[in-house]
Amino acid sequence: MIIDNILKLFRIEVSVRQYIVKASQVGKQENEQKKDNEAGKQPSVDFIRTIVAEDNRTKKWDCEVITRFPPEPNGFLHIGHAKSFCLNFGIAAENEGGRCHLRFDDTNPVMEEARYVESIQEDVRWMGWDWEEHLYYASDYFDQMHDYAVQLINKGLAYVCDLNAEETREYRGTLTEPGKDSPHRNRSIDENRDLFKRMKEGEFKEGSRVLRAKIDMSSPNLNMRDPVMYRILHAEHHRTGSTWHTYPTYDWAHGLEDSIEGVTHSICTLEFENHRPLYDWYLDKLEVHHPQQIEFARLELTYTVMSKRKLLQLVEEKHVNGWDDPRLPTISGMRRRGYSPESIREFCRRIGINKFNSTIDIALLEHCVREDLNKTSNRVMAVLRPLKVIIDNYPEEQEEWMDAVNNPEDPEAGTRKVPFSKIFYIEQDDFMEDPPKKFFRLAPDREVRLRYAYFITCTDVVKDDNGQIIELRCSYDPATRGGNSPDGRKVKSTIHWVSASHALHAEIRLYDHLFTKEQPQDTADGEDFKSSLNPESLTTLSDCMIEPSVKDANPLDRLQFERLGYFCLDKDTTKNEIVFNRTVTLRDTWAKIQKKGQTAQIRKLNI
């Protein structure tokens, strides 16, 4: 007995040592890959695609490529899920005859809702992927998984256990100590089959019994220490209703679903690597189709959280306004904020697929959306913090319609007409009464260009009783129509504007990072991730002014407000109120980061 225990401890120690050696061997390579990944360098063919290509070359799966995206319908998808389904659907699309299944792992009726199923399908479609007829649910296979469980019972490889949750943890052991056999481990096959049948029929209370696999309570891998396969839940399922009183655990269902569907490449995130021996054991003992499981690193972004549990907490505690709040990294939130599917897919392509965990700077994501929206978004003029301007020498009743370019990046986008009149609005920030040396915008006695219109000069400043500037009086040069001077004189600044009599009034929501810390989960004692919530993550501006061409825009239309940033028409817009969300500013932080890194590299080479 003593020798047996010593041998068990020795096996655990050897396993830990082997893991440490393996980690040290790949450490240097991963550090180099990590640097490239976080720098946003263009990825080469990733290791998963290399495996798939080799499998096709050797005809391992008869040249079939079948992947799947298996979300749990217990929340909304976020950009981390986008990385996964872009990988799975992408690999299927790249291989002739390949297909990717959309399968809902609906094994926990307590947390799942039909609305999550609908939102997930909407998000995947919006991102440009189609599963065609291959829409599946774990609940489709409840009967078959139950029959598989009975097979293991009949083989003496599964048993009903009466230990409660606390006792189960105690018997399980630790990383350095082997577990102990359950006192119910040696029940007869007949007794286990009878108890499992009665569990299914709802005879027992929740938590009173579970079905466990009989594997090895001394295994160095804790997942192999007689894991739970079924638990009792008297809950209504969103598809099967009250038919079932026992539900499969995720670990029991995971590999079986892939096997039943004939999946060839079961692509998972790294946390499932230690679960792979368990999935192998189940499939081997059942002697059924055995997909190849491949693990990759999940996505982590700065200034946000990707845990579905934490996102749910933010929603339920009303720190945000629902799952589609534009501050969240959910697909629905990003869509509402104005992110395009093309920009998200490009971001997923750039960060690549790796075998190590790393955190990506959110500036790279913002860079990708700027690149896409710069090419695809029409320009309009909007004033967020209006300052009234009156041109004294402009005719009272006159109005003109100026030609404006819709998108300089896309000649086919054409032009539009923008109204100009005696009274208009400019940004408050575009005027300073006592400007510093490098301020070139409007100031007393200074001439600037109005975009697409005229040169104007400030002649007077009007203030209220508190000394606040409320109005500017200006003159204009009629010869400069269109923004050029016949005499060739130059101005140092061009500013945008909106005609007062034609302006549409709007509410503008300016979004910033939801958290003030790059890593919100890194907290001091006594704090949680919510301690770094950004109180200025949303600023709402009312009575903003926008040119009238916007009146025909539809919700989710994306526009560039000239000189201000990219904005998206929100779903809260009504006939009487226009609401825009700022997607991202024009300033590209990521481009500056890259330029700084390149400069540092050049200096290093020069040394």
Q: Measure the N-to-C terminal CA separation of the chain; round to a whole number of Å.
A: 66
Q: What is the mean pLDDT of residues 35-63?
A: 79
pLDDT at 525: 84
Average pLDDT of 264-271? 96
How does 9-44 read in b/e, with b if 16+ C-beta sit within 10 Å?
Answer: eeebeeeeeeeeeeeeeeeeebeebbeebeebeeee
Instruction: Tell me which residues are annotated as active site.
Output: 72, 298, 308
- Cα–Cα distance measured from residue 304 to residue 297, given in angstroms and rounded to the nearest whole number: 17
Residue 596 confidence (pLDDT): 66
Give the pLDDT confidence score for residue 590 in this predicted structure.
59
For 283, the token pair is: 């499939």
Closest Cα partner for 187 from 160, 213, 210, 169? Answer: 160
Task: State the CB neighbour count (10 A cutoff) for residue 318.
Answer: 8
- Torsion on CA atoms 320, 325, 329, 335, rounded to nearest 10: 180
Angle CA 323–271–357, to nearest 5: 85
Kindly report which listed range (51-55, 204-208, 582-586, 596-600) carries the lowest average pLDDT score: 596-600
Buried-exposed string 276-312: b where 16+ CB fall within 10 A, e elsewhere: bebbebbbebbeeebbebbbbbbbebbbbbbebebbe
The rounded percent of the chain whose pLDDT value lies above 90 is 86
DSSP 297: P
Residue 377 · residue 560 · CB < 8 Å: yes
- Going by pLDDT thresholds of 50, 70 and 90, the confidence category of residue 601 is low
CA–CA distance, 327 with 255 (Å, rounded to integer):
35
Is the pLDDT higher at 534 or at 23? 534
Q: Is the pLDDT of residue 591 over 80?
A: no
Region 2-19: what's the mean pLDDT? Answer: 41
Query: How confident is the model at residue 527, as a pLDDT?
Result: 87
CB 455 within 8 A of CB 485: yes
Query: How do residues 414-465 score in pLDDT, each as one tens digit?
Result: 999 999 999 999 999 999 999 999 999 999 999 999 999 999 999 999 999 9
pLDDT of 579 higher than 90: yes
| CA atoms 161, 165, 169, 171: torsion sign | negative
pLDDT in tens, 162-189: 999 999 999 999 999 999 999 999 999 9
Tell me if 81 sits within 8 A of 71, measured CB to CB: yes
Token couple for 554: 């539809």
**Region 65-80 average pLDDT:** 97
Extended strands (E) in 262-349: 265-269, 292-296, 300-301
How confident is the model at residue 523, as a pLDDT? 86
Please, what sign has the CA dihedral across residues 249, 270, 85, 284?
Answer: negative
Q: Which of 358-362, 383-387, 480-484 has the highest mean pLDDT?
A: 383-387
Answer whether residue 535 shows pLDDT above 90. yes
42 residue type, one letter: Q
pLDDT confidence bin for 600, thresholds 50/70/90 = low
* Confidence tier at 125 by pLDDT (50, 70, 90): very high
Q: Please, what is the Cα angle at 459 between 484 and 465, to 5 degrees?
A: 135
Cα 577 to Cα 504: distance, rounded to the nearest angstrom = 9
Judged by average pLDDT, the poorest of 35-49, 280-294, 590-604 is: 590-604
Helix then strand then coil, % of the chain, to nearest 5: 35, 25, 40
The burial of 166, by beta-carbon neighbours within 10 Å (0-12 exposed, 13-18 middle, 19 or more buried), is given as: exposed
| pLDDT at 192 exceeding the cut of 60 | yes
Contact 380, 414 (CB under 8 A): no
Task: Provide the pLDDT for residue 30.
Answer: 43
CATH numbers and ranges of domains, the chain? 36-138+251-368 (3.40.50.620), 141-248 (3.90.800.10), 382-503 (2.40.240.10), 508-545+552-601 (2.40.240.10)
- pLDDT tens for 80-92 read 999 999 999 999 9
| Confidence (pTM) | 0.88
Question: 472 and 431 in contact (C-beta within 8 Å)?
Answer: yes
Of 446, 419, 452, 453, the residue nearest 431 (C-alpha): 446
Which pLDDT score is estimated for 27?
42
pLDDT at 387: 98
Q: State the pLDDT at residue 587.
A: 82
Give the CB-side neighbour count of residue 151, counting CA atoms within 13 A. 13
Nearest to 79 by CA among 327, 377, 374, 370: 327
Q: Each residue of 386-419: pLDDT tens digit?
A: 999 999 999 999 999 999 999 999 999 999 999 9
Q: What is the pLDDT of residue 357?
A: 86
Q: How does strand 447-450 pair with strand 455-463?
A: antiparallel
Question: Residue 102 forms beta bridges with which residues?
Answer: 69, 135
Mean predicted lDDT score pLDDT of the chain: 91
Rounded to whole angstroms, the Cα distance separating 254 from 140 reads 13
Between 581 and 27, residue with greater pLDDT = 581
Whether the predicted pLDDT of 239 surpasses 60: yes
| pLDDT at 5 > cutoff 50 | no
* Predicted pLDDT of residue 457: 98
The conformation of residue 478, written as its DSSP 8-state character, comes to G
Instruction: Give residue-wise pLDDT tens across range 303-350.
Output: 999 999 999 999 999 999 999 999 999 999 999 999 999 999 999 999
pLDDT per residue as tens digits for the range 12-43: 443 434 334 334 433 444 444 445 444 455 44
The SS3 of residue 144 is helix
The number of residues in the chain equals: 607
**% pLDDT > 70, the chain:** 89
